[in-house]
Structure 1
């Protein structure tokens, strides 16, 4: 079908829009270009305005920030130098990186094997296990703080194992909550992988473990990255469990910031500038993590959306 229709010589040509043409897309577009630019600009302003204020406040003096000055009279990096002694951020960052990093690695490694079994094998109780993993996501963490604390504190009495105040005790706590979510992420991702690849490998004599390590694992990196990053964020941002499961030597960066903010809240001049600098330093690893694995995040989060 052509875009013009000529009936006879001298007749006027009638334009017919093809489906999917530019004219049709312009007609069916919900918003005009200028309005889309305005909406995006307003949303970007709401997102970037607090970030800009935090950056400016971190380069300002505590007195000026407490006075409400937005733009610093003198840009000074003293806040970034003082937080390492006043906040004790170095020890907290080291503990957060160790605990959250170990949680992300172990959770991602265990979730891919668990998800592969749940997706590719049929056995009694399979649906029950998957429903139980989903049900665990609906339990609020505040309801589990006291049971987890009592359980871990009792281990020192009955088993002779000191769990409270240790990094590995906090790691086990985070792994308990991160593993169900990571498993569900990998279940969704593995359902989108074609079974023909595994069947071809079995014809060639590959074992189940060989298929998992040589075929499934290389194809599942986007899902693994997504599950690992979410597990990392769980340990990095948590304050509730870290505040009751740690001591001054094993406390995380989030707990260090909470203690610093609470201790200086009643002072004559709150250390607002140092709080902003500490917040930026603690947020920097997560931002760099997202930027580095951005292409994997897009593929992993959209897996299973289109069949």
Structure 2
């Protein structure tokens, strides 16, 4: 009778263990890494701390150069709603930036799916065009976009310049190529077996998009949506020439407020700092809410 002999697994080699492996792969010594990390954190945290402290100080105290307020007060956070007119500007920014984020993310998924899963003439040219479009500076596109929108508005007899939907179209023009490229990169990593199994069960292309591609593309949709939101939220160039006072965004409201208060006897630095923090709050909240989607992958373990 033949007997099977089991070979004992080799004994683990003695070494420094996991800590030694991590130390071997570290690119720089621990003291140097700690020093550089501390310096980078200080470079970021000190300006943020100054902005927070200045927003809780008086305008005269900030103008005199106080880093630590002599008396804390939240008066600036109540004054900015009347001096800056921030409420209307924040609503406009949320409408435009939120619409751009949602539209670009939703339109990018089917566009990228066609570019990744189907072969047709001009497909590579479109992909290269999406990548090359990102290298065009926005300053070069400002005048052509303005003239184009003015001409279309004059021809059709409708107002485009000065409206929120006109600004939405302008931002979507720049956000959609980036979102599509992000989705193309992501969908290339999705296994085709999931779609093939759905087709065997009789699913159509629309059902595959709705029930498989969209749910599994959550992280990429969030990433493209956040970048599109930041494009509309932080932009000053296009919003400065394509809006009027009642359609100003938050960035333009801050710019106008700072320019109008420069010649005052006491610059309202405290109110400017408070307004800046209020305008930055939605972006910070957005990152905190969706940070797990930014670093996570929903397709892990989907195919055994």
Give me the CA root mean square deviation: 1.7
Distance (whole Å) between structure 2 residues aligned to residue 60 and residue 186 of structure 1: 45
Distance (whole Å) between structure 2 residues aligned to residue 173 and residue 40 of structure 1: 39
Name the residue aligned to 2:178. 181
Name the residue aligned to 1:263. 260
Distance (whole Å) between structure 2 residues aligned to residue 78 and residue 141 of structure 1: 38
Name the residue aligned to 2:66. 69
Distance 1:277 1:196, change over 3 A: same
1:91 equivalent among 65, 88, 91: 88
* Residue 237 of structure 2 corresponds to residue 245 of structure 1: no
Structure 1 position 150, deviation (Å): 1.1
Unaligned runs of 5+ in 1: 4-15
Distance (whole Å) between structure 1 residues aligned to residue 185 and residue 164 of structure 2: 31
Q: What do residues 105-133 of structure 1 show as CA deviations (whole Å, max 9, x unaligned)?
A: 00001000100000000011111111111
Structure 1 position 270, deviation (Å): 1.1
Structure 1 position 23, deviation (Å): 3.6
* Residue 141 of structure 2 corresponds to residue 131 of structure 1: no
1:107 equivalent among 96, 104, 108: 104
Distance (whole Å) between structure 1 residues aligned to residue 169 and residue 94 of structure 2: 15
Distance (whole Å) between structure 2 residues aligned to residue 174 and residue 104 of structure 1: 10
Count, aligned residues = 289
Structure 1 position 21, deviation (Å): 5.1
Distance 1:93 1:21, change over 3 A: closer
1:21-100, aligned counterparts within 5 Å? Answer: 22-100=19-97
Comparing 259-268 with 87-96, greater Cα deviation is found at 259-268
Q: What do residues 155-182 of structure 1 show as CA deviations (whole Å, max 9, x unaligned)?
A: 2321111101111000000000000000
Distance (whole Å) between structure 2 residues aligned to residue 293 and residue 46 of structure 1: 25
Distance 1:196 1:85, change over 3 A: same
Distance 1:152 1:21, change over 3 A: closer
1:284-303, aligned counterparts within 5 Å? Answer: 284-299=281-296
1:254 equivalent among 245, 251, 255: 251
Structure 1 position 29, deviation (Å): 3.4
Distance 1:129 1:73, change over 3 A: same
Structure 1 position 26, deviation (Å): 3.3
Name the residue aligned to 2:232. 235
1:160 equivalent among 157, 160, 180: 157
Name the residue aligned to 2:3. none
Distance 1:164 1:26, change over 3 A: closer
Name the residue aligned to 1:201. 198
Unaligned runs of 5+ in 2: 1-9
Distance 1:30 1:270, change over 3 A: same
TM-score by length of 2: 0.91
Distance (whole Å) between structure 2 residues aligned to residue 127 and residue 217 of structure 1: 24
- Indicate conservation of the 8 Å contact 1:96/1:253, yes or no: yes
TM-score by length of 1: 0.90
